[in-house]
Amino acid sequence: MTVTGNSSEVREAVGYFDSAEDLEAAIDELLTSGFNRAEVSLLANEDAVEQKLHHKYRKVSELEDEVEVPRASYIPTESVGAADGALVFTPLYVAAVSAIGAIVASGGSLLAVIVGAVAAGGAGGALGGIFAKLVGDHRAQYIEDQLKHGGLLLWVRTWDKADEARAVQILNKHSGHDVHVHGGAG
């Protein structure tokens, strides 16, 4: 199918969810049933929506069919966990290796190298833990803000009637609310 630049011709299944668990389950099934991650989008954060639309919104249901609403890409929980691990491990590794290099360069003993690596690695790991907590807090705040406005809004790009039917069935199966298809003539 040829995709044009006119967003009114794009067909999407849309619905909102009462919990992150239901949303994740719906997205997992969408992805395992043939939808591409690029075809799945979520509502952007509250500030981005208000800046783009130039007004506040009370309920996500007001935004379901709004063409101009800003969207966010779906990031699986596993990827957030991997990022958390990298945020903790990288500063730990860099600090430990830097300490080892400095101690060895100054002619320090093996015991000094070990103690220095452990101390510096611990400090680096603590710093990484702070970064990881910030990422987790940001994600939790995003979910809380969306739920405060009535739910977690999800769009699924569809290409044909079979996609539409499959997406609607999956969203309904996982407790989606106001599930429907919108967009150009289908």
The two three-digit tokens of residue 91, written as one number:
């500063």
The beta strand positions in 11-121, using DSSP E, are 11-17, 40-43, 71-73
In terms of domains, do 131 and 89 share one?
yes
Parent domain of 120: 79-138
CA–CA separation, 120 and 102 (whole Å): 11
**24 and 44 inside one domain:** yes
Contact 60, 149 (CB under 8 A): yes
- Determine the 3-state secondary structure of 26 from DSSP: helix
Q: Is residue 72 part of a domain?
A: no
Residues 55 and 15 in one domain: yes
On whether residue 30 sits in a domain, the answer given is yes
Residues facing residue 15 across a β-bridge: 154
54 in a structural domain: yes
Q: Given this model, what pLDDT does residue 93 score?
A: 46
Most confident of 82-86, 120-124, 131-135, 154-158: 154-158
pLDDT of 31 higher than 50: yes
Residues 51 and 87 in one domain: no
| 32 token code pair | 């395992």
pLDDT of 86 reads 47
Lookup result for tokens 């979520």: 42
CA-based angle 36:60:164, to the nearest 5?
35
Domain count of the chain? 2
Higher pLDDT, 65 or 142: 65
On the question of pLDDT at 15 being above 80, the answer is yes
